[in-house]
Structure 1
Amino acid sequence: MVVREVGLRDGLQSIQTILPTDCKREWIRAAYEAGQREIEVGSFVPPRLLPQLADTADLVRFAKTLPDLFVSVLVPNLKGAERAIAAQADLMLVPLSASHAHSLANLRKTPDEVVAEVARIRAVRDAAGSRTLIEGGIGTAFGCTLQGAVEPAEVLRCMQALLDAGADRVSIADTVGYANPAAVRDLFGQARKIAGEKFCCGHFHDTRGLALANIYAAMETGVARFDATLAGIGGCPYAPGASGNAASEDLVFMLGGMGIATGIDINRLLALRARLAGWLATETLHGTLWRAGLPKTYSTAVPTPLAAHTS
């Protein structure tokens, strides 16, 4: 099972504190030393929009020095994709919102316009001879505070369109915490039938306390990679109420207790969380394991996970 750390992007983009680049490098290295092998280090968006992420290129360069670390970034458009390709990121996540209202608020594009942008990104990527993978990430898949309901059929239509446009793989996100395990099991099951192993990742917010339950439901459909953020920080600046992601340490604890290998040392991860709490002393952090601590019956052995990023 793969836990992809996205706190350096999804987490930091939604808080006021601008974390110094040196601290971000320490975060990446410590997460790597804890056993994490997939990290989303930032986003190639204009610094005037998200100054918290202005150092993404520097972080990609640093992260690429760590052996076997799979480095991903978010790109909102072709210009961002060109920067990701130049930086030699391993993967660029192109966000698409299944909610038309949120899509226009977040990206100033309709979902179909995002699909067309993915086709252009694929053409540029291929022409450059780049090996950077393209992941189409479908957000607001279970509903949206701006639009309300989002039909599963529209999510699946967008997924097929992204694959047809040239995305190497696709993922689904519950951007505002509207999902429940039954809905996740149904939608993810249908998505797996369409995309197979190209449906690679689930992204759940813990806004209403259901992130881990939803992840478990997604696991039952065969999905084996999930985004999470250290201390559960994050959200979407353009989706009111989109607070808090699944906390990396809580997810690793749950999986470890179930005997599912992640390759991540939970004690090292908790130590890193404590450092993050110091760096973000004025911000609200989330998660529960840090407060309760590990139970005495919990095994802290770190079994080796299966290959992580071949799908």
Structure 2
Amino acid sequence: MNHAYKEPLIVQEVAPRDGLQIEKEWVETEDKIALIDGLSACGITRIEAGSFVSPKAIPALRDGDAVFNGIRRGKGVIYVALVPNVKGAERALAAHADELNLVMSASETHNRANMRMSCESSLAGFGDVVRLVERAGSAASLNATVATAFGCPFEGRIDENRVVSIARTYREMGIKGITLADTTGMANPRQVARLVARVLDDVPAADLTLHFHNTRGLGLANVLAAYDAGARRFDAALGGLGGCPFAPGASGNICTEDLANMCEEMGIPTGIDLQKLIALSRTLPSLVGHDVPGQVAKAGRNCDLHPVPEYVRAI
């Protein structure tokens, strides 16, 4: 066995925010809280619990304050909030979020479409949030995401030098955590290994997160490529919830239980109770009103299979 595979892989669960934000049917606040509490009970230590954007922009997450104030905070669990600006950051701090996540695209075109502003304006806003957190004397940490880091639906390939430069800029601004996001599932394993290795020259593995989508079926392959390159933290969504508005009908985030199952089969520690996680995932269709893309919750673990009869073995 590759001894590197004994290094723990940390899962950051994003279903309560990234997964639920595109759902058409309203998910009740108490159900969001129950989902988050259920995830922490499975051993998930980082949970993106909500968003503090305008209710008009993302009505599905308009109850962020109530969610953060209602969750049963697990010991050692970090609860992350997505914030778009100072106003959102103020609300997140008031709700006692442990970490604030900011997002800017490497693609200027995508940033204007998604954030309604230039990259320059986004960076200026990030600076305002950094100063707010410093003035508040808050213990909350900061993370900034480089969206479309592996490709843009408008611009195609993204210059890797630009991605590395943005990550460096974030760190220079005082933002400790960095996320590289494959926003529309355009990455491939060789590209991932190359870019992750470059970013790790500037960012410690403990501060780097990878966010992959399974839009073209390469999500878990990209996880392994990044893990082999030294990355140790990955976003994933229970059941594979989520998607991208620029890839209609495409599957969304990599699936948490599928990722945890792969790690268990390979001997990579995660600290996750996979059996509990699968049981929780199986409640999702009734919660969101439709089937979800995850596979392991449908098929079960290898060890759940009945013993194969002798006559089958002989075939």
Match of 2:136 among 117, 128, 133: 128
Secondary structure in structure 1 of the residue aligned to 2:242: coil
Match of 1:194, SS state, is coil
Q: Please report the TM-score for the alignment, with normalisation by the length of structure 2.
A: 0.90
CA distance in 1, matches of 2:237, 2:119: 26
Give the one of 199, 211, 223 matched to 1:215.
Answer: 223
Residue 248 of structure 1 corresponds to 256
Query: 1:279 — aligned with what?
Result: 287
| 1:30 pairs with 2:38 | yes
- 1:153-195 CA-to-partner distances (Å, cap 9, x unmatched) read 1111111111112212111010011001000000000000122
1:294 maps onto 2:305 in alignment: no
Query: Which amino acid is 1:296 matched to?
Result: C
Contact 2:33 2:67 in 1 (8 A): yes
Tell me if structure 1 keeps the 8 A contact 2:37–2:72: no
CA deviations over 1:117-141 (Å, ceiling 9, x no partner): 1111111100010011110111101
8 A Cα contact 1:44 1:84, kept in partner:
yes
Alpha-carbon distance in structure 2 between the residues aligned to 1:110 and 1:50: 20
The one-letter code matched in structure 2 to 1:275 is T
| Alignment partner of 1:68 is 2:76 | yes
Give the deviation of 1:28 after TM superposition: 1.1
Aligned length: 296
The answer as to whether partners of 1:191 and 1:199 remain within 8 angstroms in 2 is no
SS at match of 2:120: helix
CA drift at 1:197: 3.6
Secondary structure class of the residue paired with 1:101 = helix
Confirm or deny that 1:140 pairs with 2:148: yes
Following the alignment from structure 2 to structure 1, what is the Cα–Cα distance between the partners of residues 303 and 282? 20
> Which residue identity is paired with 2:162?
E
The equivalent of 1:301 in structure 2 is none
Specify whether residues 146 and 240 from structure 1 end up closer, same or farther in structure 2 by C-alpha distance, changes over 3 A only.
farther
Higher alpha-carbon Rg = 2
User: Would you say the 8 A contact 1:192–1:199 is kept in 2?
Assistant: no
| Residue 228 of structure 1 pairs with residue 241 of structure 2 | no
Deviating more after overlay: 127-136 vs 64-73: 64-73
> How has the CA–CA distance of structure 1 residues 142 and 155 changed in structure 2, closer, same or farther, with 3 Å as cutoff?
same
Q: Unmatched 5+ residue regions in structure 2? A: 1-8, 306-315
| Runs of 4+ in structure 1 over 4 Å off | none
Extract unaligned runs of 5+ from structure 1: 299-311
The 5 A counterparts of 1:145-184 are 145-184=153-192
SS at match of 1:263: coil
Identity %: 37
1:117 and 1:250 map into 2 onto residues whose CA distance is: 36
SS at match of 1:193: coil
What do the CA deviations read for 1:212-263 (whole angstroms, capped 9, x no partner)? 00000000121111000011011233x3356411000000001111111111
Indicate the residue corresponding to 2:110 in structure 1. Answer: 102
Give 2:96's aligned residue.
88
* TM-score computed with the length of structure 1 as normaliser: 0.91
